[in-house]
Amino acid sequence: KQEVTQIPAALSVPEGENLVLNCSFTDSAIYNLQWFRQDPGKGLTSLLLIQSSQREQTSGRLNASLDKSSGRSTLYIAASQPGDSATYLCAVEDSGTYKYIFGTGTRLKVLA
């Protein structure tokens, strides 16, 4: 059974710092991996989607990488800003069921 883990559960950094959020999954048979942002009391906003054949995707200050063989993905945020404060979730699309399995998220706080 596919399981998705995100460590740490919470992270505080000073403004301007570059940071890395981690996502690991137990079964490398995935179709896609998607990173989301969630603000308190709101829905999820899609940030980046990496297909299984890709190694990374970039959007602005965000870069996500995928290493299927080791069951890992990272989300790199450059030059963090207070507006980046939110919970970041990763989800993998299981290639057997085509369902997305979600991690519990990393709650990020960027201090001004």
Partner 1 sequence: DGGITQSPKYLFRKEGQNVTLSCEQNLNHDAMYWYRQDPGQGLRLIYYSQIVNDFQKGDIAEGYSVSREKKESFPLTVTSAQKNPTAFYLCASQDSAYNEQFFGPGTRLTVL
Binding residues for partner 1 (CB under 8 A): 4, 31-32, 34, 36, 41-46, 49, 51, 89, 91, 93, 98-105
Return the number of the residue (57 or 80) whose C-beta is nearest partner 1: 57
Q: How far is the CB of 91 from partner 1 (least distance, A)?
A: 7
Q: How far is the CB of 76 from partner 1 (least distance, A)?
A: 20
Give whole-number Cα distances, 42 to 9, 37, 38, 39, in Å.
19, 10, 6, 5
Question: Bridge-partner residues for 72, per DSSP?
Answer: 24, 67
Q: Which of 106, 107, 101 is nearest to 71 (CA)?
A: 101
Sequence-distant (6+) residues with CB within 8 A of 97 are none
Return the number of the residue (80 or 101) whose C-beta is nearest partner 1: 101
Return the number of the residue (65 or 103) whose C-beta is nearest partner 1: 103
